Amino acid sequence: MPAPLNVLLVDDDALLRLTVGRRLEGRGWTVCQASSGQAALDQLERRQFDLILSDVMMPGMDGLQLTAEARDRGIEVPIALMSGLASPEMAARAVALGAAMLVAKPLADAALEQIEAAARGARSRPATTSGG
């Protein structure tokens, strides 16, 4: 059995964090939560995760800005963004900023499978090192 995924769930909606968090824990994942993009960055400074699952629409720093900031800080963990207003344009922007994918809310089981595959795939790749 594969090791549980360590996931950072980011959403300003506490009820959504609770319900999605329970679904992820039901899959055997370990879930930490953040209520904002800045709170997520603070957690990313202290801890490593296998995946970031973030809402796009949040006050202050939205999920797209969180993605860009994480990449600017050298955080290479897969980021899956979720939105109730997902569109092809938003998906293209998310991927251009460094997200692995954009999925529609509410999260379908197929989306969770896709997210898990991205996280496990990234986990199985060897880490790159500098200095040859």
User: Which tokens in the block code for residue 55?
Assistant: 């809402």
Given a cut of 60, is residue 130 above it in pLDDT? Answer: no
Residues 6+ apart with CB under 8 A from 80: 51, 52, 53, 54, 99, 100, 101, 102, 103, 115, 118
Given a cut of 90, is residue 97 above it in pLDDT? Answer: yes
pLDDT at 132: 36
pLDDT at 122: 85
pTM of the model: 0.92
pLDDT tens digits, one per residue of 33-89: 999 999 999 999 999 999 999 999 999 999 999 999 999 999 999 999 999 999 999
pLDDT at 42: 97
Name the residue type at position 115. Answer: I
pLDDT tens digits, one per residue of 73-88: 999 999 999 999 999 9
Q: Which domains does the chain have, with CATH numbers?
A: 6-124 (3.40.50.2300)
